């Protein structure tokens, strides 16, 4: 039997139908790329959001909205004296911001017609305007147009500088979008009109309307609004006060633009008459003063970035200022310069003169110049000695220093042997001051100077005891004011002090001198001012002070106080050249007395203003004549001829004979006049 072969297997057919979802695991594999796309899109959106947040933060820091409310030029500041007299005016003319809702329609329309016709329809950038300006600039005969919107101009004027780089334009566009997002159109327009420059140092529509037409902005006519809008193209060149024809021609272009924008009909435009000016000039700026220049930076800080003129009351006393200026005019200065600072013991500056003539030179020699204080610095040496336990009766050698590398000498090379500290201070002995600084330590001397308000660099060497480190006159005066006040430090100020919190008052409170130290240093200052080198300054009232004369008579200074007023007088040349015949006890002391006698209302010998050439006085110098009866000192000056026996110079070049031991009485010997009758020896003035 033949075997039956196996049947041939049939070709595989399609699988039997299955229920939905029972297919192979890879039946939905095609959805994976879509998920990846979603994830990528999410990352892109997150990155864009992060970038947006960074941009928002950057704009919030670099372009806060509050800045668009601030004037783009410093407001006008008027400085007033304490008694209500105008000292000086500084700054641009700025008035209060305008409100669009309070303006007649034709006022903002004039600006939009010439600057940004699509202002209310764009988002800060106007592509059509840019394209139109580009096309015009290609085919024009030289007259160019700009494509910046009002929003962009506000962004540039308030937040950016005027460079023309691509990065600046990009930032301008970003800030424009930022402003559009956070402000309404009216708010943007108000900020723009309130900040823009109209020429003649005038900023803002309200100030411009008053300046050019003596009108409020809500009373401007169409012609006046058109003229103001036309100024924005070139405010300095088109200012109608200097270029009326140019301003009117530009105003006519604005009026025609208003017609093209649909704000006016041609008939209305043709009926307009050119605007007529009614210029209201700002009050004339008072002649600048040294004090005004000194106090202005702080006054601006107090005024803040606000609209409108600000009146700042200062501490200046106009009566005392005039008296200080009068004392300068009466001084026999020749070609030399002079500076005066007068303050109350608490540092309130009431008068300041920084030179002979502000118009000739505005450089303030009272606050800006640093010169050697000479022997006025010895105040700190002797106060350091008193802190160390010494007294005015303690003795010190007024003899040549022969040891060490530094060997100072007294001015006239004369020495007095063993003398008291009171005598050494009164005659301003150089060698005694250096020996004293050696004993107490130069660092302790510097510490006293710092405590009393000297902030200038001070060299740590023995020559510092003689005032070789430069300071300015204001800080030197405030150091002496601390002695008058009995507390330190005293800070010179030209504006009334602002209220401080109780915490600040505790932290920054003054320190008091020990009563014994204060009594002793005042004793020395009285001795120097009444019977020592500064006797030419002595008043009838208690007078305290110290002279200073630097090497080769380059600087001559007197600093002192009386009657509740602390005053310093400096005389010197700007080029630091010598002044033969000048010393701290000479011209500065006499100028000090001339001013102070009037300032504190003390009757004194009146010094009339010199009517002869002041250069002649520069030749007046101390004359020492050797005679058979000893050294006779003859002082020649505007007060007459003073004759003294055993006259003696010091580092101040004007030391008198040694004062008698013991405390010096407070009141000085009174005015110096040429005697017409015999004068008792004890009342005779010492040689100058």
Region for 515 from its dihedrals, namely left if φ exceeds 0, alpha if ψ lies in -120 to 50, beta otherwise: alpha
Provide the 10 A C-beta neighbour count for residue 567: 29
pLDDT digits (tens, 9 = 90+) for 97-133: 999 999 999 999 999 999 999 999 998 887 776 666 5
Is residue 71 scored above 90 in pLDDT? no
For 160, list phi and psi in degrees, rounded to 5: -125, 170
Q: Label residue 527 by pLDDT band (50, 70, 90).
A: very high
What's the pLDDT score for residue 148?
84
Confidence at residue 73, expressed as pLDDT on a 0 to 100 scale = 66
The helix or strand, by DSSP H or E, that contains position 325, with its residue range, turns out to be helix 318-330
Q: How far is CA 164 from CA 95, 131, 160, 167, in A?
A: 30, 19, 11, 8
Lowest-confidence range among 218-227, 273-282, 648-657?
Answer: 648-657
Dihedral angle at the C-alpha atoms of 180, 181, 184, 188, nearest 10 degrees? -30
Question: Is the preceding omega at residue 47 within 30 degrees of 0, hence cis?
Answer: no
Q: When comparing pLDDT for 62 and 370, which is higher?
A: 370
List helix spans (H) across 406-563.
421-426, 430-440, 442-451, 473-485, 502-507, 515-530
Residue 275 neighbours by CB under 8 Å, 6+ apart: 213, 221, 223, 224, 226, 227, 248, 251
Distance CA 248, CA 229 (A): 11
DSSP letter for each residue of 229-252? HHHTTSHHHH-TTT-HHHHHHHHH
Sequence-ordered strand ranges (E) for 61-214:
77-80, 86-90, 93-94, 202-203
Is 90 exceeded by the pLDDT of residue 534? yes
Q: Is the pLDDT of residue 157 over 70?
A: yes
Looking at the DSSP bridge assignments, the partners of residue 88 are 79
Report whether 168 contacts 179 (CB < 8 A): no
Tell me 532's DSSP state: S
Lowest mean pLDDT among 193-197, 207-211, 307-311, 403-407: 307-311
Among 44-48, 72-76, 171-175, 572-576, the range scoring the smallest mean pLDDT is 72-76
d(CA 473, CA 459): 18
Strands 395-398 and 417-420: antiparallel
Residues 559 and 366: their CA atoms lie apart, in Å, by 13
Q: Tell me: the pLDDT tens digits for 47-59?
A: 877 776 676 666 6
Rounded CA-CA distance 81/493 in Å is 13
| Per-residue pLDDT, 127 | 76
Q: What is the 3-state secondary structure (H, E, C) of 98-119?
A: CCHHHCCCHHHHHHHHHHCCCC
Backbone angles phi, psi at 133, to 5 degrees: -65, -40
- The highest-confidence range among 33-42, 171-180, 346-355, by mean pLDDT, is 346-355
Please give the helix or strand (H or E) that residue 310 lies within, else none.
strand 310-313
Higher per-residue confidence, 652 vs 220: 220
The string of pLDDT tens digits covering residues 190-204 is 999 998 999 988 999
88-97, 184-193, 325-334 — which is least confidently predicted? 88-97
What is the mean predicted confidence (pLDDT) over 352-361? 94
Whole-number Cα distances in Å, 59 to 191, 584, 661: 18, 60, 75
**Edge-to-edge order in the sheet of strand 640-645:** 623-627, 630-637, 640-645
Maximum pairwise Cα distance, the chain: 184
Return d(Cα 175, Cα 153) in angstroms, integer: 10
Contact in structure between 335 and 360 (CB atoms under 8 Å): no
Helix (H, G, I), strand (E, B) or coil at 606: coil
The span from the CA of 664 to the CA of 527, in Å, is 5
Query: Which 8-state DSSP code applies to residue 530?
Result: H
- In eight-state DSSP terms, residue 91 is S
608 has pLDDT over 70: no
pLDDT at position 232 is 93
Check residue 34 and give its pLDDT: 73
Mean pLDDT of 294-305: 80
| Alpha carbons 546 and 530: distance in angstroms, whole number | 10
Domain boundaries, the chain: 96-271, 326-499+508-600
Work out the average pLDDT over 278-295: 81
> Is residue 40 pLDDT above 70, yes or no?
yes
Any idea what the Cα angle at residue 648 is, between residues 647 and 651, rounded to 5°? Answer: 150
225 touches 107 (CB < 8 A): yes
Mean per-residue pLDDT for 545-563? 96
Q: Give CA–CA dist 351/568, Å, rounded.
A: 11
Sign of CA dihedral 557, 559, 563, 565: positive
The fold for domain 326-499+508-600 equals Beta-lactamase (3.40.710)
User: Across-strand partners of 549?
Assistant: 556
pLDDT > 70: percent of the chain? 73
pLDDT tens sequence across 568-577:
999 999 999 9
Distance between CA atoms of residues 534 and 528, nearest Å: 6
pLDDT at 686 (0 to 100)? 35
What pLDDT does 465 receive?
97
Neighbours of 169 (CB within 10 A): 15
**If you average pLDDT over residues 337-342, what whole number do you get?**
98
Give the Cβ contact number of residue 654 at 10 Å: 32
- 476 closest CA partner among 336, 590, 574, 342: 342
C-alpha angle 614-618-623 in degrees, rounded to nearest 5: 135
pTM listed for this prediction: 0.68
pLDDT at 128: 75
Q: Which of 95, 89, 92 is nearest to 75 (CA)?
A: 92
Answer yes or no: is pLDDT of 493 > 90: yes
CATH architecture of 96-271: Orthogonal Bundle (1.10)
State the virtual CA torsion across 540, 546, 549, 554 in degrees, nearest 10: -80
Q: Are 118 and 338 in contact (CB under 8 A)?
A: no
Q: Where does the pLDDT of residue 621 fall: very low under 50, low under 70, confident under 90, or very high at 90 and above?
A: very low
CA distance 201 to 94: 9
Q: Exposed, middle or buried, 627 (CB in 10 Å: 0-12/13-18/19+)?
A: exposed
Mean pLDDT (the chain) is: 81
Predicted local distance difference test score (pLDDT) of residue 67:
59
E strand or H helix at 169: helix 166-182
- Model pLDDT, residue 669: 35
Query: Residue 582's pLDDT band (boundaries 50, 70, 90)?
Result: very high
Query: Which has the minimum average pLDDT: 19-33, 233-247, 287-301, 408-422?
Result: 19-33
- Distance, CA of 376 to CA of 165 (rounded, Å): 57
pLDDT greater than 90 at residue 558: yes
Closest by Cα among 663, 683, 656 to 672: 683
Residue 414: pLDDT band with limits 50, 70, 90: confident
- Asked whether the beta carbons of 328 and 591 are under 8 A apart, the reply is yes
pLDDT tens-digit series, residues 430-483:
999 999 999 999 999 999 999 999 999 999 999 999 999 999 999 999 999 999
| Beta-strand relationship, 630-637 and 640-645 | antiparallel
CA distance linking residue 224 with residue 39, whole number of Å: 61
Average pLDDT of the segment spanning 577-597 = 96
First vs last C-alpha separation in the chain: 167
Tell me the pLDDT band of 624, cut-offs 50, 70 and 90: very low
Could you tell me which residues are beta bridge partners of residue 79? Answer: 88, 312
């Amino acid at each position: 039997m033949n075997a039956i072969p196996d049947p041939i297997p049939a070709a595989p057919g399609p699988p039997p139908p299955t229920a939905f979802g029972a297919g192979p695991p890879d039946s939905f594999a095609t959805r994976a790329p879509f998920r990846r796309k979603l994830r990528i899109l999410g990352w892109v959106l997150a990155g864009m959001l992060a970038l947006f947040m960074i941009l928002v933060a950057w704009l919030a820091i670099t372009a806060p909205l509050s800045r668009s409310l601030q004037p783009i030029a410093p407001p006008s500041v008027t400085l007033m004296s304490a008694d209500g007299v105008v000292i000086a005016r500084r700054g641009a003319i700025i008035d209060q911001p305008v409100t669009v809702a309070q303006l007649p329609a034709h006022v903002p329309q004039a600006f939009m017609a010439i600057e940004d016709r699509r202002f209310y329809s764009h988002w800060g950038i106007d592509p059509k305007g840019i394209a139109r300006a580009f096309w015009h600039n290609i085919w024009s005969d030289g007259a160019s147009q700009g494509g910046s919107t009002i929003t962009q101009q506000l962004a540039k004027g308030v937040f950016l500088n005027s460079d023309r780089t691509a990065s600046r334009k990009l930032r301008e566009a970003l800030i424009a979008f930022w402003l559009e997002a956070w402000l309404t159109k009216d708010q943007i327009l108000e900020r723009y009109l309130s900040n823009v420059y109209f020429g003649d140092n005038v900023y803002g529509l309200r100030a411009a309307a008053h300046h050019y037409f003596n009108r409020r902005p809500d009373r401007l006519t169409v012609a006046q609004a058109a003229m103001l809008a036309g100024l924005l193209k070139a405010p300095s060149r088109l200012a109608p006060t200097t270029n009326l024809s140019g301003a009117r021609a530009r105003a006519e272009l604005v009026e025609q633009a208003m017609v093209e924008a649909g704000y006016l009909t041609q008939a209305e435009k043709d009926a307009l008459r050119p605007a007529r000016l009614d210029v209201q000039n700002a009050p004339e700026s008072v002649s600048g003063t040294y004090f005004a220049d000194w106090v202005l930076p702080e006054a601006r800080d107090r005024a803040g970035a606000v609209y409108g003129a600000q009146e700042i009351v200062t501490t200046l006393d106009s009566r005392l200022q005039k008296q200080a200026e009068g004392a300068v005019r009466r001084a026999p200065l020749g070609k030399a310069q002079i500076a005066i600072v007068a303050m109350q013991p608490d540092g309130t500056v009431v008068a300041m003169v920084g030179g002979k003539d502000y118009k000739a030179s505005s450089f303030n020699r009272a606050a800006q110049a640093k010169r050697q204080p000479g022997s006025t610095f010895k105040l700190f040496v002797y106060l350091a000695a008193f802190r160390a336990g010494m007294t005015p009766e303690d003795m010190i050698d007024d003899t040549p220093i022969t040891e060490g590398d530094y060997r100072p000498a007294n001015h006239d090379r004369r020495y007095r042997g063993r003398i008291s500290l009171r005598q050494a201070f009164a005659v301003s002995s150089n060698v005694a001051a250096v020996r004293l600084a050696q004993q107490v330590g130069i660092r302790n001397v510097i510490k006293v100077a710092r405590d009393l308000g000297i902030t200038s660099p001070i060299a740590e060497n023995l020559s510092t005891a003689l005032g070789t480190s430069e300071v300015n006159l204001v800080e030197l005066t405030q150091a002496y004011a601390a002695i008058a006040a009995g507390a330190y430090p005293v800070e010179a100020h030209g504006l009334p002090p602002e209220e401080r919190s109780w915490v600040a008052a505790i932290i920054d409170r003054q320190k008091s001198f020990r009563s014994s130290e204060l009594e002793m240093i005042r004793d020395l200052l009285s001795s120097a001012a009444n019977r020592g080198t500064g006797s030419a300054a002595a008043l009838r009232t208690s007078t305290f002070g110290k002279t200073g004369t630097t090497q080769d008579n380059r600087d001559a200074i007197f600093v002192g106080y009386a009657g509740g007023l602390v005053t310093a007088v400096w005389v010197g040349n700007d080029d630091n050249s010598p002044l033969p015949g000048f010393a701290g006890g000479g011209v500065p002391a006499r100028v000090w007395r001339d001013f102070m006698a009037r300032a504190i209302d003390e009757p004194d010998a009146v010094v009339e203003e010199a009517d002869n050439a002041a250069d002649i006085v520069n030749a007046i110098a101390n004359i020492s004549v050797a005679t058979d009866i000893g050294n006779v000192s003859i002082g020649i000056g505007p007060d007459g001829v003073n004759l003294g026996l055993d006259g003696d110079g010091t580092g101040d070049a004007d030391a008198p004979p040694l004062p008698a031991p013991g405390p010096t009485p407070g009141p000085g010997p009174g005015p110096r006049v040429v005697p017409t009758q015999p004068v008792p020896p004890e009342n005779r003035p010492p040689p100058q």
